[in-house]
Chain A
Amino acid sequence: MSEIIMPKMGDAMTEGKVIRWYKKPGDAVKKGEPVLEIETDKVNLDLEAEADGTLGQLSVNEGEMAPVGGVLALLLGAGETEKPKEKPAADENSRRATDKKDSIKHSTGEYGEAIEMKGPRIDRASAATSAGTPTAAAPGGDGGRRRSSPLARKMARDLGVSLDQVQGSGPSGRIVASDIKGAQGRPAAPSAQTAKPAAQKQLEAKKIRHSAMRRTIAKRLAESTGPIPHFYLTVDYDVTNLLIIRQQLIDISGTKVSVNDFIVRATALALLQHPNINASWGDDAISQHGEVHIGIAVATPEGLITPVVRNADGKSVVDIAAEVRLLADKAKNRKLMPNEYQDSTFTISNLGAWGVEEFTAIINPPNAAILAIGAATRQPVVIDGQIVIRDRMKVTMSCDHRVIDGATGAEFLKSLRQYVEQPLRLMI
């Protein structure tokens, strides 16, 4: 049994008309024999049977329209009978294209035979980056009775001055800022409250010279605890959403993406906001690095090595996943080139795959910190007074106290939390 459908005959054709049926239900038809005539907006033509058979019941009568892909009738093979089933006349796509309420159709030839004017909306929240365009204040105000500049109207609003009482000194009597100042008899309020566009955060390489105090802190801490004075901060992140997104990403991209790949990107983005963590201790100065290169601890038979995802802040999770897999393979085969394991500015060690829930890691010099990532575990959590099961993950950051203070480290972990717990931020 096969279906005779309304065929798409033009690049933008969405529907066609049945002019006449040459055959009646029950008639035998041969392959290649014309069965019916259809009309499109360009041509009339005969539709030929694609196989031998018997014509079944007609779904679309003469003079009626059918959407592209819609079934016009069934063609039954030898011994087949028609199943009386409710068959929708078209799939969802073609219905959508022809739903008059949903779309305005233009008839402008080849390109515009059925341009849908009503398109899907982009979810700006997910599509825009955090540095989206600034939103201007609503114009509002006194409207157009008196000519006035936008700034003058805003000042008048802020200062409670009525524009009716002000004489405009600009062209055609336009009220400008100086007129409002004159009316108020005092300087205009500064315009600092206007929402300024947040400039995209850019890192720059720079050295912050050691102050005497910083030197003393460093020396004392080092004397007490060895070359690098470590301290540790542990946090517990909710990774329920991250695990969901990860699964979706795997489904969509078809690539294997690990939780760690998300953490790499999250860390890189958080580091952009905390140049003081993306730093190294030196004899004279703390160097803040101009780029974010994330080292990943990889266990090899010979021992630990940390291949580096360079400029990880500019790479997508999928890119990072591919790169980490490649680097890890190379590491295990001792194929890493020096530029693939040098110059990290921060390191991540993840023992989640071994079921380790929480641990501390030793800083990989000259980094100022390392993250130790534990396994995600299902935990009961109280949210809004309800006990719910969420996926949680413990993360411990080891910090070089000469470079990072407790609060600085905590600030960083707070930024990292935003990325880990709202993983859509990682996808933009």
Chain B
Amino acid sequence: MAEKSYRDAIRDAMMEEMDRDPNVLIMGEDIGVYEGTFRITAGMLKKYGPKRVIDTPIAEAGMVGTAVGMAMLGLRPIVEMMTVNFAIVAADQILNHAAKVRYFSGGQVDVPMVIRGPHGAGVQLSAQHSQSFESFYAHFPGLKVVAPGTPADAKGLLKTAIRGRDPVMFLESAALYGMKGEVPDDTNFTVPFGQSRVAREGRDVTIVSYSRMMQMSLLVADKLSKEEGIECEVIDLRTLRPLDMDPVYASVSKTHRAVVVQEQWKPFGAAAEIAASITENVFDELDAPVVRVTGEDVPMPYARNLELLATPHEEHVAAAVKKVMYR
């Protein structure tokens, strides 16, 4: 175990896998000579050379599409998106090609590739650079969608993504890059997909979340425990596709109340899927409607005060918890 930042955990995962398997390579805009906008790839060009650390033109469809072709021929490309916002430029390649070619070929090819990059709200990046896409990608069969909330998960889930046989959208929280936590040193440490985690135990309310909002939910849970005597159980979903709801159902069957927290917009978001699944599967356990905490339904504004109003905060989560407690 060592204390590592979320950023270093991601770099370690990639470098360990590149050391382990010569078929792993990384491509993206300004990841080599420039060493990456968020410096995730610092030092990698020097270590692995330009054939394995490829600086691409600004051409998201081109880089994702070429990665699909590489993956079909047996390589394991990692595509770094400067931010995940830019991946929608490559939507046709991700959704129509990466996600479907295994199926329409009747299973004749694997598509082992990872598309990763910073995701979600930053600080004053305004409308085109602050979005959350997890529910968008998780809608499509054929993709995996990962949203790690701790340095250890960032490393373990990324290694699973790189070693897998399917295309993975690996959504990093830009706001967590500097966050530190214990990360196992073992080069064989991985975290399997489809295993939600109880991040904090509690008897009163189940908070379901992932990524940065999961960290925020933990802070709220501690505060409510100290100040109000309310014990929240926080479930970290870790992967949205595959989605492991069993621990959520088990928790709701204990607490009878659920709050779902996401940064993205409310309509048709991940929280809607989770809330619907809870009512479909453990309806009789509910003592209150499932409540969603989400971003406001507006494009992200630039002004700092407006931006703060647009994203969910601790008070919103605390209020939602009290609402389902009828307090």
Interface residues of A (CB under 8 A from B): 133-134, 136-137, 139, 149-154, 169-171, 176-178, 191, 194, 196-197, 199-200, 202
User: Is B284 a contact of A153 with CB atoms below 8 Å?
Assistant: yes
CB-CB < 8 A to B256: which residues of A? 151, 177, 191
Chain B residues near A197: list those with CB within 8 A.
Answer: 245-246, 249-250, 281
Q: Among residues 252 to 299 in chain B, which have CB atoms less than 8 Å away from a CB atom of chain A? A: 253-254, 256, 280-288
Contacts of B195 in A (CB 8 A): 202
- Whether B326 lies near A169 (C-beta < 8 A) is yes
Interface centre among B282, B286, B287, B326 (most CB of A within 10 A): B287
The smallest C-beta distance from A129 to any residue of chain B, in angstroms, reads 13
**B interface, by DSSP: helix, strand, loop or mixed?**
helix
Using known A-B contacts A136-B280, A169-B326, A197-B281, determine if residue A151 contacts B287 with beta carbons closer than 8 Å: yes
Q: Give the CA-CA distance A114 to B281 in the complex, in Å.
A: 35
Candidate in A150, A176, A191, A200 with the most chain B CB atoms within 10 angstroms: A150
Q: Mark B189-201, 1 if CB is under 8 A from A, else 0.
A: 0001011000000
Decide: B284 and A171 in contact? CB cutoff 8 A: no
Set A169, A176, A191: member contacting B285, Cβ < 8 A: A191
> Which of A139, A191, A202 has a CB less than 8 Å from the CB of B283?
A139
Using CB atoms, name the residue of chain B closest to A204: B192
Bound Cα distance from A112 to B245, whole angstroms: 36
Are A151 and B281 CB-contacts (below 8 A) given A196-B250, A197-B249?
A: no
What separation, in Å, do the CA atoms of A178 and B326 have in the docked complex? 10
Question: Within 8 Å CB of B283, what residues of A?
Answer: 136-137, 139, 150
B contact residues, range = 20 to 34
Closest to B288 in A: A149
Q: Would you call B192 and A202 a contact (CB within 8 A)? A: yes
Instruction: List 4 additional A-B contacts (Cβ < 8 Å) besides A151-B285, A196-B253.
Output: A136-B281, A191-B285, A194-B282, A197-B245
Q: What does DSSP make chain A's interface, helix, strand, loop or mixed?
A: loop
Query: A176 with B253: in contact, given A136-B283, A136-B284, A153-B284 (CB under 8 Å)?
Result: no
Nearest-neighbour CB distance to chain B for A148, whole angstroms, equals 10
How far apart are B89's CB and chain A's nearest CB, in angstroms? Answer: 27
> What A residues does B281 contact at CB under 8 A?
133-134, 136, 197
Alpha-carbon gap, A310 to B284, bound state (A): 42
Residues of A within 8 A of B284 (CB): 136-137, 139, 150-151, 153-154, 194
A298 to B286, CA, bound (A): 56
Residue in A closest to B195 when the chains form the complex, CB atoms:
A202
Within the complex, the shortest CB–CB distance from B59 to chain A, in Å, comes to 32
Residues of A within 8 A of B326 (CB): 169-171, 176, 178
Residues from chain A with a CB closer than 8 A to the CB of B250 are 196-197
Residues of B within 8 A of A176 (CB): 287-288, 326
Instruction: For the complex formed, measure the closest distance between the CB of A92 and the CB atoms of chain B, giving whole angstroms.
Output: 25
Q: Which chain B residues (311-327) contact chain A, with CB distance < 8 Å? A: 326
- Residue contact B287 to A194, C-beta cutoff 8 Å: no
22 example contacts (A-B, Cβ-Cβ < 8 A) are as follows A133-B280, A136-B284, A137-B283, A139-B284, A149-B288, A150-B283, A150-B284, A150-B285, A150-B286, A150-B287, A154-B284, A154-B285, A170-B288, A176-B288, A177-B287, A178-B326, A191-B254, A194-B253, A194-B285, A196-B253, A197-B249, A202-B192
Give Cα A199–Cα B286 distance, bound, in whole angstroms.
20
User: 9 closest A-B pairs (Cβ-Cβ)?
Assistant: A151-B287, A154-B284, A177-B287, A149-B287, A199-B246, A150-B286, A150-B284, A197-B246, A150-B283
Q: A194-B253, A196-B253 are in contact. Are A136 and B288 (CB under 8 A)?
A: no
Bound state CA distance, A378 and B230, in angstroms?
66
Which residues of B are found within 8 Å of A154, using beta-carbon distances?
284-285
Q: Write the nearest CB–CB distance from B16 to chain A, whole angstroms.
A: 19
Residues of B contacting A133 in the complex (Cβ-Cβ under 8 angstroms): 280-281
Report chain A residues within 8 Å CB of B282: 134, 136, 194
Provide the bound-state CA to CA distance between A19 and B286, in Å: 63
Closest chain B residue to A192 by CB distance? Answer: B253
| Chain B nearest Cβ from A90, distance in angstroms | 29
Smallest CB separation, B27 vs chain A (Å): 29
A153 to B281, CA, bound (A): 16
Measured between beta carbons, the chain A residues less than 8 angstroms from B280 are 133, 136
Expressed in whole angstroms, the Cα–Cα distance for A139 and B287 within the complex equals 14
